[in-house]
């Protein structure tokens, strides 16, 4: 585990402040959201290392004790903020791998619009390379939930006979997870970059992943061929 830097040590000292409110008082959802939003603002502006509990408290207009009652460390707070990237609720179940992935992409486009999370989360991951505790927490709370969803979609496809039963599931999870991550990184966090997931890519992968009795989704073929025709320059 990495040693806490000076700002984290100072913040932990601040945790000893006398509580502003009584311990029995119910937790405020409004305060929670204000703190998480302030955390994202601070990380976006200053980065992980320079973000402090004191700065978040000032941005959210709450006391430091209010934050520490909810999240005992800066790492816990930052992970709570960026883990909002993971979709809530029941996973989509449309009856096909393409449909499930499209439903997930559409949900994330709507959820992420205007939040800045798609630019902040990669920054947190990059800075976690020097912080094993933050890196493991990011994997557990941000990366693994998405991988679990994709694994579920694939396993459903295998059960339906849509996807080859001899497929290496984890390797396909790697590929399907890498595609949206690449698009997000190269678009500087634009949620609209997810618009072509999975329609632009599954037709390419289909020969290697679909079972012999299954064909590429018709909707995927239509969108893919239409896009190709639109991009093809006129001959002559």
**Does one domain contain both 27 and 143?**
no
**Does one domain contain both 90 and 68?**
no
Q: State whether residue 228 is helix, strand or coil.
A: helix
Query: H-type helices in the chain, by residue range?
Result: 6-14, 29-50, 53-60, 64-70, 74-82, 97-112, 117-127, 132-138, 144-160, 169-186, 202-209, 218-231
Structure-block tokens of residue 67: 């934050």
Domain boundary residue, one of 82, 104, 127: 82
In a domain, 186, yes or no: yes
Supply the range of the domain harboring residue 46: 6-82
CATH assignment of the domain containing 200:
1.10.357.10
Considering the chain, what is the average pLDDT of its residues?
Answer: 85
In a domain, 21, yes or no: yes
What's the structural domain count of the chain? 2
- Tens-digit pLDDT profile for residues 43-91: 999 999 999 999 999 999 999 999 999 999 999 999 999 999 999 999 9
pLDDT for 28 equals 85
Q: Which residue has the higher pLDDT, 55 or 20?
A: 55
Q: What is the 3-state secondary structure (H, E, C) of 37-80?
A: HHHHHHHHHHHHHHCCHHHHHHHHCCCHHHHHHHCCCHHHHHHH
């Amino acid at each position: 585990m990495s040693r806490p830097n000076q700002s984290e040590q100072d913040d932990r000292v601040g945790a000893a402040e006398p509580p502003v409110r009584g311990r029995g008082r119910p937790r405020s959802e409004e305060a929670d959201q204000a703190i998480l939003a302030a955390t994202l603002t601070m990380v976006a502006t200053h980065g992980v290392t320079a973000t402090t509990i004191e700065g978040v408290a000032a941005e959210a207009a709450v006391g430091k004790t209010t934050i520490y009652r909810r999240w005992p460390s800066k790492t816990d707070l930052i992970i709570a903020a960026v883990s909002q990237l993971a979709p809530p609720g029941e996973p989509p179940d449309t009856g096909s791998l393409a449909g499930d992935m499209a439903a997930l992409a559409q949900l994330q486009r709507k959820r992420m619009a205007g939040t800045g999370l798609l630019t902040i989360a990669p920054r947190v991951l990059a800075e976690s390379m020097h912080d094993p505790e933050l890196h493991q927490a990011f994997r557990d709370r941000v990366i693994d939930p998405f991988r679990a969803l994709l694994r579920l979609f694939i396993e459903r496809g295998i059960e339906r006979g849509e996807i080859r039963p001899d497929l290496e599931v984890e390797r396909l999870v790697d590929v399907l997870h890498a595609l949206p991550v690449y698009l997000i990184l190269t678009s500087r966090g634009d949620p609209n970059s997810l618009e072509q997931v999975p329609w632009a890519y599954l037709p390419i992968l289909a020969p290697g992943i679909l079972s012999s009795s299954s064909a590429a989704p018709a909707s995927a073929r239509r969108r893919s061929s239409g896009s190709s025709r639109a991009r093809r320059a006129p001959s002559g």
